[in-house]
Amino acid sequence: MNRIEQRFAELQARGERALIPYVAAGDPDPNWTVDILHALVRGGADLLELGVPFSDPVADGPVIQQACERAIAKGVGLRHALTMVEEFRAKDPLTPLVLMGYLNPIEQFGVDAFLTRAASVGVDGVLLVDAPIEESAALADRLHAAGLVQIHLIAPTTTDARIAKLGALARGFIYYVSLRGVTGAGHVSSVEASARIQLIKQHCAVPVGVGFGINDAASAAAVGEFADAVIIGSALVSRLALASSSVQAQQIAIDFLTPIKAALK
């Protein structure tokens, strides 16, 4: 059982939903990222999703695209994100951490080199938007051998047959994309999402988290009524972009997450 599975087991034993915030590595300042990660944990984060800056995203909306552009302009890439995880792990050996991104940086880094480095610094899983199951079976096996899990995405348009296939392969948790669009594109429909989560859980033994369209305690609480986890990205990233110092960014992270975590208990 890795850290992701252990954390969900602990939360389920307490009857709590997981809070999973997303931040882009290197934004708003590369020197602040590790401190922001620690602040997110202090604010109530149960798992962390660290975005790897990439120039050609397909799922990220304007807020996260701009965050990644700012990070790339400062020279931040996959290698730096892995170093940030290593620095974070020096003080926090327990909080699960997932890298979110795309295949290209991993291919450029070298798959074997990435797997070795990611496992050694304490990455628990990867969420690769452009790695569908038909094209990532070999990668999934290599991730598993390295002790990492591949987090799979399910969308509102995913067919029942495909959900069943994903459910058979799922480890860690399923990321349900609640909107037909990019991150930050709108507000989640609790009625529609609830029905889809019920269907997904018929095929998936792992927890199901909901992302896209959740931006405050009220929307998180509504989703927490039927999902195992709430994933928040754009609403947090847009606030962090306003920080003028690491201390201010940390406080923003804590102030934003604290009421959301309280709503999920």
What amino acid positions are annotated as catalytic residues? 49, 60
In angstroms, the Cα distances linking 29 to 75, 246, 254 are 11, 8, 17
Q: Is 50 helix (H, G, I), strand (E, B) or coil?
A: strand
**Tokens describing residue 215:** 């931006």
Q: Are 171 and 164 in contact (CB under 8 A)?
A: no
- CA–CA separation, 184 and 119 (whole Å): 31
Q: Is 150 helix (H, G, I), strand (E, B) or coil?
A: strand
User: CA quadruple 99, 105, 108, 111: dihedral positive or negative?
Assistant: positive
**Of 52, 48, 155, nearest in space to 108 by CA:** 52
CA 38, 231, 78, 168: dihedral to nearest 10 degrees? 130
CA angle 179, 259, 253 (to 5 degrees): 80
**Tokens describing residue 234:** 């754009």
Instruction: Kindly give the pairing relationship between strand 174-177 and strand 208-211.
Output: parallel
- CA–CA separation, 191 and 164 (whole Å): 22
- CA–CA separation, 246 and 174 (whole Å): 32
